[in-house]
């Protein structure tokens, strides 16, 4: 019948040379539409859920520090306009996806390593009923059902936290649709409510409020989760949301930083400083776009974002009384802390940037792009004050950073991304300082 069809059409033929190399005809690794509509391995996601506490609806993200505390907890996201959520510790990478049967074979050591990796690697669309491996992006540890239990109200519940490696069943979770409109074997769509079940304990990933505080555990009670995509692969050398970097003044050896002084008031002031500080943790900043979904997409010119100082957890802000300083997260509302990168101070595109689903086109590049930093609400430019002559005579390589209507011609900054180890160490400094401050109080 097929031969007859080909003969009757006559001129129809398949030109395989026109098929791009690496194209997955079965759709497992489809780009474009799949990137936005379906969840795939190697995507970075946050796990979101909601809860009602004292008649107030809360939105929460699953989070973990990984260093010092391996238990998972919940990060509030409901009031993100006024208090930015700490998304740096909420991101998980969908490292692998296997059918339950393939997982059982792998765990029984009956599958060769080459076959095993081919089943989980690449951008493969997730399917309901399959088991997934979630790697915590910040710590590189794995989301696991632990053998301990801190629940005072549910004696059958287990703790959920991080483990260092992916051995055993404990770090595998199967995905199941919450809606009857979806069925096992279907692709997992972005925005779907889903249920996660621990392979090792056969318990659900669960948000518990029974103890009077919000906790996450593995329980026989269900919670609906939503996997919100953060990023899906980025162009090498391009700036995306969530990157930790240094902001250098043009091509000079001066970077944006804060004072190392012991005084807390001094540590709120922002300046450009040269010398050894350009390799220190206090010169590291994190770019945080004003959204959760696709917050790790390629950064665009004019896109509003917050700039977070990593070791203090404070945000670059314009205040009425002090001008340009860093403020605590509790005071980091969008009007004060929204900045954007501009390619020029002239011919500004003032039209609001519409949020784009997916990674979007890469626009800003490390080492190539020179960026002017503009405060969104005021329109003022990040610049510097003239250095104090006395400080210059003393050899102090420091200039006060400020916001100004015009600024200087050489206000452009070049961006340099740090190593992952630097970012992790800076985060540990922030976490440790917070712990010490709790003891002091």
Same domain, 226 and 250: no
Distance (Å, whole) CA 233 – CA 252: 31
pLDDT digits (tens, 9 = 90+) for 189-245: 999 999 999 999 999 999 998 777 899 999 999 999 999 999 998 888 999 999 999
Mean pLDDT, rounded, of the chain: 86
Let me know whether 249 and 371 are in one domain: yes
**Residue 118 confidence (pLDDT):** 38
Q: Which residues contact 294 (CB under 8 A, 6 or more apart)?
A: 229, 230, 231, 355, 356, 357, 358, 359, 360
Q: What is the pLDDT of residue 10?
A: 37
State whether 314 and 394 are in the same domain.
yes
Domain assignment present for residue 227? The answer is: yes
Q: What is the CATH number of the domain that holds 320?
A: 2.80.10.50
Residues of the chain with pLDDT under 70: 1-35, 109-121, 261-265, 350-353, 390-396, 441
The answer to whether residues 269 and 416 belong to one domain is: yes
Residue at a domain's end among 201, 231, 261: 231
Which of 231, 254, 274 is the last residue in one of the domains?
231
Is 154 within the bounds of a domain? yes
pTM, to two decimals: 0.86
Helix/strand/coil percent split, the chain, to 5:
20, 35, 50
Please tell me the predicted confidence (pLDDT) of residue 53. Answer: 82
Establish if 355 belongs to a structural domain.
Answer: yes
Tell me if 300 is assigned to some domain: yes
Q: Is the residue at 56 inside a domain?
A: yes
Q: Let me know whether 56 and 200 are in one domain.
A: yes
Q: What is the pLDDT of residues 246-260, one digit of tens each?
A: 999 977 789 999 988
Domain count, the chain: 2
Whether 336 maps to a domain, the answer reads yes
pLDDT value at residue 73: 96
CA distances from 77 to 82, 90, 392 (A): 10, 11, 45
Predicted local confidence at residue 30, as pLDDT: 46
Structural domain for 267, as ranges: 244-440
41 shares a domain with 190: yes
């Amino acid at each position: 019948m097929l031969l007859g069809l080909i003969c009757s059409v006559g001129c129809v033929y398949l030109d395989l040379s026109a098929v791009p190399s690496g194209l997955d005809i079965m759709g497992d690794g489809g780009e474009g539409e799949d990137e936005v509509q379906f969840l795939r391995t190697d995507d970075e996601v946050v796990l979101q859920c909601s809860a009602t506490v004292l008649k107030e609806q809360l939105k929460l993200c699953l989070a973990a520090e990984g260093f010092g505390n391996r238990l998972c907890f919940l990060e509030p996201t409901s009031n993100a306009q006024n208090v930015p959520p700490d998304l740096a510790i909420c991101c998980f990478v969908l490292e692998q996806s296997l059918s339950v049967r393939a997982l059982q074979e792998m765990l029984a050591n009956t599958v060769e390593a080459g076959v095993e990796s081919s089943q989980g690697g690449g951008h493969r669309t997730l399917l309901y009923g399959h088991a997934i491996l979630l790697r915590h992006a910040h710590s590189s540890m794995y989301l696991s059902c632990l053998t301990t239990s801190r629940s005072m109200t549910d004696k059958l519940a287990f703790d959920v936290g991080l483990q260092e490696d992916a051995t055993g069943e404990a770090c595998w979770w199967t995905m199941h649709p919450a809606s009857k409109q979806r069925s096992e074997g279907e692709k997992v769509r972005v925005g779907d409510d889903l249920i996660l079940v621990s392979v090792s304990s056969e318990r659900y990933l669960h948000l518990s409020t029974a103890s009077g505080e919000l906790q996450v555990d593995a329980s026989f009670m269900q919670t609906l989760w939503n996997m919100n995509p953060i990023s899906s692969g980025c162009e090498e050398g391009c700036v995306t949301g969530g990157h930790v970097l240094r902001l250098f003044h043009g091509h000079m050896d001066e970077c944006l930083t804060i004072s190392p002084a012991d005084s807390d008031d001094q540590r709120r002031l922002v300046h450009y400083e040269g010398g050894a500080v350009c390799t220190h943790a206090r010169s590291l900043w994190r770019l945080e776009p004003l959204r959760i979904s696709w917050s790790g997409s390629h950064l665009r010119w004019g896109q509003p974002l917050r700039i977070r100082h990593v070791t203090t957890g404070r945000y670059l802000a314009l205040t009425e009384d002090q001008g340009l300083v860093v403020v605590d997260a509790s005071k980091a509302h969008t009007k004060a802390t929204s900045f954007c990168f501009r390619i020029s101070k002239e011919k500004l595109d003032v039209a609001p940037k519409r949020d784009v689903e997916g990674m979007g086109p890469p626009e800003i590049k490390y080492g190539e792009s020179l960026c002017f930093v503009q405060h969104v609400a005021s329109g003022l430019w990040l610049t510097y004050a003239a250095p104090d002559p006395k400080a210059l005579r003393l050899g102090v390589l420091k200039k006060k950073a400020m916001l100004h209507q015009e600024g200087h011609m050489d206000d452009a900054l070049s961006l340099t991304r740090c190593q992952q180890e630097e970012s992790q160490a800076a985060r540990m400094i922030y976490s440790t300082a917070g712990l010490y401050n709790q003891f002091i109080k």
